Amino acid sequence: MLSALRRTSQPAAARGVRAFAAAAKPQKFSIYRYDPEQQAKPFMQEYVIDLKQCGPMILDALIKVKDEVDSTLSFRRSCREGICGSCAMNINGKNGLACLLYIEPSSSPIEIQPLPHSYVVKDLVPDLTNFYNQYKSI
């Protein structure tokens, strides 16, 4: 019994257990910011999130920023299952759903922008009026 206790009290690396990405250092996120009411140019704002205190998805990091760091951040989300597409955005230069994309820890910031070729209502919220008009015409 005592030897079993000694084995499990060792650090994960000593036991040969793989450490999760959440054990990594804090991750920087560079997020597109735009507020039409301020009449200022859009800019990229950097936030630092501790991955140990955050879920594994990009959407989890955005929610953490909004809840704990900057409540003025705006973005769309709904189902968290990749079905509705409301959390679609450009992440590190590729379009994707924030609820399906894992946070890949790196030394450079993860860049999050609204979908390209769409008008921006505020921050990461695209204007979907054109999309809904096209959908209605089908």
Give the tens place of pLDDT for each residue, 31-40: 999 999 988 8
- Per DSSP, the residues of 38-66 read GT---EEEEEEE-GGGS-SBHHHHHHHII
The reported pLDDT for the residue numbered 128 is 84
Give the tens place of pLDDT for each residue, 46-82: 999 999 999 999 999 999 999 999 999 999 999 888 8
SS3 107: coil
SS3 99: coil
Q: How many CB atoms lie within 10 A of CB 63?
A: 18
Q: Is the pLDDT of residue 117 over 90?
A: no
Q: What is the pTM of this model?
A: 0.77
Give the tens place of pLDDT for each residue, 85-100: 889 999 999 999 999 9
